[in-house]
Amino acid sequence: MLYRALRSLSSYLNKMVPEVVFVLGAPGAGKGTQCSLISKEYGFVHLSAGDLLREERQRPGSEYGEMIEQCIRNGEIVPVEVTCSLLHKAMQKSGQTRFLVDGFPRNKDNLEGWTREMADKTKLLFVLFFECSKDLCTERCLGRGAAGSGRSDDNLESLMKRFNTYLNDTMPIIEHYEKQGLVRKINAEVAPDQVFEEVKKAFNQCGLEKLNN
């Protein structure tokens, strides 16, 4: 009797543990595009670390605004205390339990901060890694800038820096997760709907079901 009650309590609590998919890839690999498709089809809440930082930069009275802008222009990574706390707050505010954490963890500091603050409170399902050549990514970001993205880092100078950060700081994080068998590598050089077909395979393999709509 007690055993059964404890088991159902434990299964209830398990369902409450937020599930997370990290989404990584070079700037312009299509992380945001795919995340909106996933979020529509699988009901995950899309949390883009970059978007949250840009929002915080705009927030009147933010003590981090200037520092964030500096980092973004220079393609550098904001200290994890700021980013992790924005992610945590957004998770709580959503009241949901399944999250796509897009553009995070981007370096060792991000990874260590998450491990310290969030790893025990969440379950990492897998890491989606969108693979795309530097040339194609650059073309996409410059196109996005020319089309009026309004981003202060969609220019060639910032892009070169963002790429260096990606190669030097983010790739080792992807390798870290690869060793744990958690990376689902996706070819992101094809059209968005074709990329999404591959993404769906990763979600279906993990036993995640589509929403009924």
Cβ proximity to ligand C5P, 28 vs 196, nearer residue: 28
Q: How many CA atoms lie within 13 A of 135 on its CB side?
A: 0
Q: Which of positions 39-98 make contact with Mg ion (CB under 5 A)?
A: 50
Comparison of 125 and 173: residue with beta carbon closer to ligand C5P: 173
CB nearer to ligand C5P: give 25 or 208: 25
Give residue number: closest CB to ligand C5P: 50
Closest approach, Cβ 9 to ligand C5P, in A, equals 35
In the complex, minimum distance from the CB of residue 76 to ligand C5P, in angstroms, rounded to a whole number: 6
Judged by CB under 5 A, which of 32, 43, 65, 79 binds Mg ion? 32
Q: How far is residue 172's CA from residue 203's CA, in Å, rounded to a whole number?
A: 24
State which residue, 6 or 35, has the beta carbon closest to Mg ion.
Answer: 35
The listed partner (Mg ion, ligand C5P, none) that binds 83, CB under 5 to 8 Å by sort, is ligand C5P
Q: What are phi and psi of 131, to 5 degrees?
A: -100, 130
Please count the residues of this chain forming the interface with Mg ion, following the rule CB under 5 A.
Answer: 2
How far is Cα 159 from Cα 153, in angstroms, rounded to an integer?
7
Residue written as token pair 């996409």: 140
Q: Return the CA Rg of the chain.
A: 18
Closest among 153, 160, 126, 149 to 24, alpha carbons compared: 126
| Nearest residue to 27 (alpha-carbon basis) of 191, 185, 156, 172 | 156
For residue 94, give the amino acid letter: S
Residue among 195, 156, 180, 205 nearest 25 (CA): 195
Question: Which of ligand C5P, Mg ion, none does residue 77 bind (CB under 5 to 8 Å by kind)?
Answer: ligand C5P
In terms of CB distance, is 34 or 83 closer to ligand C5P? Answer: 83
Smallest gap from residue 27 Cβ to Mg ion (A): 8
Q: How far is the CB of 51 from Mg ion (least distance, A)?
A: 7
The tokens of 58 are what? Answer: 């705009």
What residues make contact with ligand C5P under the rule CB under 6 A?
27, 48-50, 53, 71-72, 75-78, 83, 103-104, 106, 110, 153, 162
Find tokens 């025990």 and name the residue: 120
